[in-house]
């Protein structure tokens, strides 16, 4: 991984944990996702139009397929993450989602991109799995649907792995401009969730009145954090970028423990630290 890619990924990690703190504080579900997606589509419109006018990008037919897949996968990610936050703590759901993603992303990079990680990478993946078990409380019930926060956190992790691989294919192999991919996601999510927003207009109104600051934070920092990752994916391998960005695991766990005063902070911070070590092992390996 180049120094530029590392700087982009570490900056992205801080922004990512920050917008997740705002998302947790909102307490909203799919309606919150619609709100910040709609606002992001408006806020990022001028820069996206400038890219279209200035660069005249020509998107390959497969690029359009990748865009559609990205919209669906990101929508699944955001909705499952918000559902997880409605059922559990930030210091539980966030590390689970971010920690399980790299294991699956590395596995996918081996199958799809022919990358061959070494023994250290495999050891890191095993450490992440053990840390996830400890983070959830060490009970099998949490991983078999008994704990909805854990279930939704793991679903979010699965979608992270899927969209990381899909979006790397889009920006690296199909030359889809990263900013346009993000803008397409915001527009697509706004359209797909419009029926939900219409059915729950009162909830949308309440969320905006009480949590407009959280909506604004997510609409700015979520696309910005991922834009930095997409740029890094253009200049470094998926198997390095995907794990390295997960330093946000520890940042998110600390935010939940300190800023939200969530319980079991010592165990969760230790488990999150184990995940970070596992992630670093994957990146080095």
Number of domains in the chain: 1
- DSSP assignment of 179-216 equals HHHHHHHHHHHHHHTHHHHHHTHHHHHHHHHHHHHHHH
236/214 Cα distance (integer angstroms): 32
Mean pLDDT of 122-149: 65
Instruction: Measure the CA–CA gap between 257 and 10, rounded to whole angstroms.
Output: 21
Euclidean distance between CA atoms 141 and 158, whole angstroms: 19
Q: What is the pLDDT of residues 30-82, one digit of tens each?
A: 999 999 999 999 999 999 999 888 888 888 889 999 999 999 999 999 999 99
Tokens of 174: 């199909």
Q: Determine the angle formed by the axes of helices 30-43 and 61-87, rounding to 10 degrees.
A: 130
CB 121, CB 285: distance < 8 Å: yes
Q: Which of 146-160, 170-184, 218-232, 235-249 has the lowest mean pLDDT?
A: 235-249
Nearest to 231 by CA among 171, 141, 183, 279: 171
- Each residue's pLDDT tens digit, 250-276: 788 888 878 887 777 777 788 778 877
Domain containing residue 33: 3-284
DSSP 140: G
């Amino acid at each position: 991984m180049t120094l530029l890619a590392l700087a982009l990924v570490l900056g992205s990690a801080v922004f990512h944990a920050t917008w997740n703190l705002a998302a947790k504080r909102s307490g909203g579900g799919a309606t919150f996702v619609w709100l910040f997606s709609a606002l992001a589509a408006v806020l990022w419109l001028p820069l996206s139009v400038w890219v279209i006018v200035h660069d005249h990008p020509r998107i390959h037919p497969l690029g359009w397929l990748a865009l559609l897949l990205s919209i669906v996968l990101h929508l699944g990610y955001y909705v499952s993450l918000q559902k997880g936050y409605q059922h559990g703590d930030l210091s539980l759901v966030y590390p689970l989602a971010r920690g399980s993603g790299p294991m699956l992303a590395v596995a996918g990079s081996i199958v799809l991109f022919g990358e061959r990680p070494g023994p250290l990478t495999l050891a890191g993946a095993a450490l992440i799995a053990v840390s996830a078990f400890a983070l959830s409380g060490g009970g099998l019930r949490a991983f078999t649907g008994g704990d909805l926060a854990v279930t939704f956190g793991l679903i979010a992790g699965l979608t992270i792995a899927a969209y990381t691989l899909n979006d790397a294919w889009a920006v690296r192999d199909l030359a889809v401009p990263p900013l346009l991919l993000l803008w397409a996601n915001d527009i697509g999510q706004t359209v797909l969730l419009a029926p939900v927003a219409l059915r729950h207009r009162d909830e949308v109104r309440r969320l905006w009145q009480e949590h407009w600051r959280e909506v604004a934070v997510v609409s700015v920092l979520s696309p910005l954090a991922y834009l930095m990752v997409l740029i890094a994916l253009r200049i470094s391998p998926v198997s390095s970028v995907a794990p390295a960005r997960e330093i946000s695991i520890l940042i998110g766990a600390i935010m939940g423990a300190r800023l939200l005063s969530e319980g079991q902070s010592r165990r969760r911070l230790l488990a999150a630290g184990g995940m970070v070590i596992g992630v670093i092992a994957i990146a080095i390996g």
